[in-house]
Structure 1
Amino acid sequence: RPQQSAVCHYCDYQTAPPAECPECHVAGIRFGGVGTQKLEAEVRARFPNATCLRMDTDSMQHRDSHTRAFEAFGRGDVQILLGTQMIAKGLDFPNVTLVGVIQADTALHLPDFRAAERTFQLVTQVAGRTGRSAKGGHVLVQTLDPEHPAIQAAVRHDYDRFARTELPVRESYGYPPFTTMVRLVVRGPVEATARLFADHLAGRLRAASEQLAADARVLGPAPAPIGRLRDQFRVQIQLHGHDGDRLRAAVRQATTGLKGPERVQWIVDVDPIDML
């Protein structure tokens, strides 16, 4: 907003925001948001006498920005520190007595089988920033799904409770830690070409799995959750299997010597962490 530009935080692409709708050419465009900039404006309006500092990828551009921000907060020069997940981990400020988790369920419904786990981790970590001294502390969690098992377990710091609800779901759908998982992502500048090669690759994976008795479940190809990135269309394939060695052998057999079309790239990710 300060630079009056629209920015993609995945590929850093920037462009000037449109002055009118590109389809109907109506000039009545209203820009809104629910991110850290919007939160900062709300906090400053409600607490005008408090010093507030925002920490996110837009405001922390210099190499020592994080260090200087944390030092200012630790000295008390800054009374309210707000930001993204970068302020949730590894901080120890004894004078912090109130922590607020805004939109705690933002990542809860992402197309990632670890979404609930990551939400539990984040809320638990943020909540752990307060109450580290004799002063005690309070944690306020904002959520649209307060009854979700991950939220319920996180606000109580109850790992066992979370595991008891999450693990049966993982097991019933055949996801880690009960299976080994391999994710393949095909990307290219032409969507039809990338999809056609992904279809071919999936066929080879199914054939190799059957030949090696890997007993693998092959899902896809299908558009990746982030279907286009840096002008590249992205298509994903997932393999799940109980025998990790045979699953990896099937992937190795299916991909050895495989040549893709020009400008089409593909990667193999064993036990993937990023599902987007």
Structure 2
Amino acid sequence: MKTRRDYRESLGGLWSGRTDILIGTQMIAKGLDVPNVTLVGVVNADTAFHVPDFRAAERTFQLITQVAGRAGRGPRGGRVVVQSFNPHHYAVAAAAAYDFEGFVAREVEMRRDLGYPPFARLVRVVVLGTNEKRAREAAERFAGKLRAFLSVEDALLGPAPAPIYRLKGRYRMHLLLKTKDLAALRERLLKLAQAVSRPLQALIDVDPVNMM
């Protein structure tokens, strides 16, 4: 489906009964309310676990529960089949059991132990440049200078190549800062970013949504 019209036609087919099977991406996980859907399958449900993001378990749990909610909305009931290579992972197991409280308890415990939100603030710094060596060296300098201002409760990971290492002709190195006192570091971060000489560039993303 590439357009809104395609989307409407596909859903219309389900509603009218012309379509028996609909295959799609996460796009069909939300807002689909068709009473005659009695079977939903989730293929490779744990794919998100391989994404370097602390929210991977949360997103997997959300996806499975959202998709599961598409089945059984009519009088005939429904069934959900989930394919997973790690069925004992707490996110998959909790989603299969529809155990929201159990999932939240495990997720909160993990984030507290590792110092992730809501127990700390995250700042992602991405250093970009068309020259790979210079981008790496600039990221290392940035990290070295930043560490001088960190407290014992702060943690700095990296620099390391970003998961998407090269984008639009520019190499990307990133750092991840975990801190409980962002206000104390905000000005330092801005000054360090401004000190990165062109054509290199340093981007600061507070509480990043995308870790790629």
Q: Aligned-residue CA RMSD in angstroms?
A: 1.8
Q: TM-score, normalised by structure 1?
A: 0.72
Q: TM-score, normalised by structure 2?
A: 0.92
Matched, 1:76 2:17: yes
Deviations 1:177-207 (A, max 9, x none): 1100000111222211111111122223223
The equivalent residue for 1:200 is 141
Q: Does the CA-based 8 Å contact 1:214-1:243 persist in structure 2?
A: no
- Partners of 1:125 and 1:260 lie apart in 2 by 46
Give the deviation of 1:149 after TM superposition: 0.4
Identity %: 48
Change beyond 3 A, Cα 1:152–1:177:
same
Aligned counterparts, 1:1-276, within 5 A: 60-207=1-148, 209-210=149-150, 215-255=153-193, 257-262=194-199, 264-276=200-212
Change beyond 3 A, Cα 1:100–1:133:
same
- Partners of 1:97 and 1:216 lie apart in 2 by 50
Q: Does the CA-based 8 Å contact 2:196-2:202 persist in structure 1?
A: no
List structure 1 segments (4+ residues) > 3 angstroms apart after TM superposition.
none
- Partners of 1:180 and 1:125 lie apart in 2 by 28
Which residue identity does 1:176 align to in structure 2? Answer: P
Larger radius of gyration: 1
Deviations 1:119-177 (A, max 9, x none): 00100100010111221100000111111100000112211111111211111111111
- Partners of 1:235 and 1:253 lie apart in 2 by 18
- The number of aligned residues is 212
SS in 1 for 2:103: helix
Deviations 1:5-43 (A, max 9, x none): xxxxxxxxxxxxxxxxxxxxxxxxxxxxxxxxxxxxxxx
The equivalent residue for 1:9 is none
Q: Does the CA-based 8 Å contact 2:140-2:159 persist in structure 1?
A: yes
Structure 2, unaligned stretches of length 5 or more?
none
SS in 2 for 1:203: helix
SS in 2 for 1:80: coil
Structure 1, unaligned stretches of length 5 or more?
1-59
Give the deviation of 1:249 after TM superposition: 3.6
Structure that is richer in helix per residue:
2
SS in 1 for 2:49: coil
Ranked by relative contact order (alpha carbons within 8 Å, sequence separation 6 or more), the top structure is: 2
- Partners of 1:196 and 1:238 lie apart in 2 by 16
